[in-house]
């Protein structure tokens, strides 16, 4: 008897939302050189948005695979859109992805993102329970902006209380030897500060209403730094708000923490 044929010779894959941060001119050159990366043009045939160092792109893609009898790739196709995350946490459609190959042994689009991007889950617009209803207000919007906090001038008391005994946080001389302009404030301070803003401005001062909190540290906070926090409503789940918080150094603009 002949070998059994695979029960499913076609696969549809909703690729996970991927975030790519442009860190150098080389990153821009590499991406724009990809044949499958197609910038969106305006009515004057000009690119709607130029990529810059610091640009944050989100790739929303799906793939179709056709398999041969042995289960290997016979054809691969990946299409979708690329969105630029703006300062107001809205998303601007700036490019499309269109890749197809009937002789591919892999998927270069997926491989590129696996190497250079990070997986962040679902795109913000789809996090609303009725994202297809434009009249339902199902778009991200700012809840609070310009919230300010000043890092403590000294962490000699707060660092041990937070379980940190790093001398870069508690000793100015060690920080100087490490070529730091000032001692580094422990990460828990930034996390606690952002959480406090969420509890006050979103949960109306009721901490028990905050069902979950997750923070990702993106940079260092130094003693005396002024931190600006923006809170954005990016979705709904089971009647609960999903809030994105971003903390930036007021003087440099650098992101130090992102939280949901």
Nearest Cα to 60, choosing from 105, 15, 98? 15
pLDDT under 70 in the chain at which residues? 1-8, 69-73, 87-90, 103-105, 121-141, 154-184, 186, 237-239
Q: Are 58 and 49 in contact (CB under 8 A)?
A: no
The predicted structure's pLDDT at residue 28 = 94
Q: Are 198 and 222 in contact (CB under 8 A)?
A: no
**Token pair recorded at residue 211:** 């069902």
The predicted structure's pLDDT at residue 3 = 43
Q: Are 188 and 162 in contact (CB under 8 A)?
A: yes
**Token pair recorded at residue 249:** 């150094």
Nearest Cα to 14, choosing from 68, 67, 81, 62? 62
- Rounded CA gap, 32 and 30, in Å? 6
Q: What is the pTM of this model?
A: 0.47
- Rounded CA gap, 202 and 194, in Å? 11
Q: Are 81 and 97 in contact (CB under 8 A)?
A: yes
The predicted structure's pLDDT at residue 179 = 55
Quick one: which H or E segment has residue 63? strand 56-67
Q: Are 39 and 9 in contact (CB under 8 A)?
A: no
Write the secondary structure of 183-245 as one string of H (helix), E (strand) and C (coil): CEECHHHHHHHHHHHHHHHCCCCCHHHCCCCCEEECCCEECCCEEEEEEEEEEEECCEEEEEE
In degrees, rounded to 5, the angle at the alpha carbon of residue 211 between the alpha carbons of residues 232 and 83 is 30
Beta strands in 72-140 (DSSP E): 73-85, 91-101, 118-121
246: number of CA atoms within 13 Å, CB side? Answer: 17
The predicted structure's pLDDT at residue 139 = 57
DSSP 3: P
| Residue 54, CA distances (Å) to 34, 92, 100, 250 in order | 20, 15, 30, 16
The predicted structure's pLDDT at residue 72 = 64
The predicted structure's pLDDT at residue 36 = 95
The predicted structure's pLDDT at residue 2 = 43
The predicted structure's pLDDT at residue 20 = 92
Structure confidence by residue, pLDDT tens digits, 186-238: 677 788 889 999 998 888 888 888 888 888 888 778 777 888 999 888 777 66
Q: Are 130 and 136 in contact (CB under 8 A)?
A: yes
């Amino acid at each position: 008897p002949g070998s059994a044929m695979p029960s499913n010779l076609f696969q549809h894959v909703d690729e996970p939302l991927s975030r790519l941060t442009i860190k150098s001119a080389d990153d821009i050159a590499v991406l724009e050189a990809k044949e499958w990366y197609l910038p969106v043009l305006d009515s004057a045939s000009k690119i709607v948005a130029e990529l810059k160092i610091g640009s944050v792109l989100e790739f929303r893609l799906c793939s179709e695979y056709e398999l041969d009898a042995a289960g290997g790739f016979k054809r691969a196709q990946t299409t979708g859109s690329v969105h630029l995350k703006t300062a107001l946490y809205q998303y601007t459609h700036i490019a499309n992805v269109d890749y197809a190959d009937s002789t591919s042994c892999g998927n270069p689009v997926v491989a590129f993102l696996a190497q250079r991007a990070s997986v962040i889950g679902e795109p913000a617009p789809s996090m609303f329970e009725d994202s297809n209803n434009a009249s339902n207000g199902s778009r991200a919007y700012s809840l609070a902006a310009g919230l300010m906090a000043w890092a403590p001038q000294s962490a000699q008391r707060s660092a041990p209380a937070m379980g940190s005994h790093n001398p870069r946080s508690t000793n100015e001389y060690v920080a100087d030897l490490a070529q730091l302009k000032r001692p580094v404030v422990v990460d828990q301070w930034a996390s606690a500060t952002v959480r406090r803003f969420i509890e006050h401005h979103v949960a109306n001062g009721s901490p028990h209403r905050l069902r979950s909190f997750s923070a990702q540290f993106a940079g260092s906070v130094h003693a005396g730094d002024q931190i600006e926090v923006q809170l954005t409503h990016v979705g709904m789940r089971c009647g609960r708000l999903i809030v994105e918080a971003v903390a930036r150094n007021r003087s440099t603009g650098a992101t130090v923490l992102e939280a949901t």
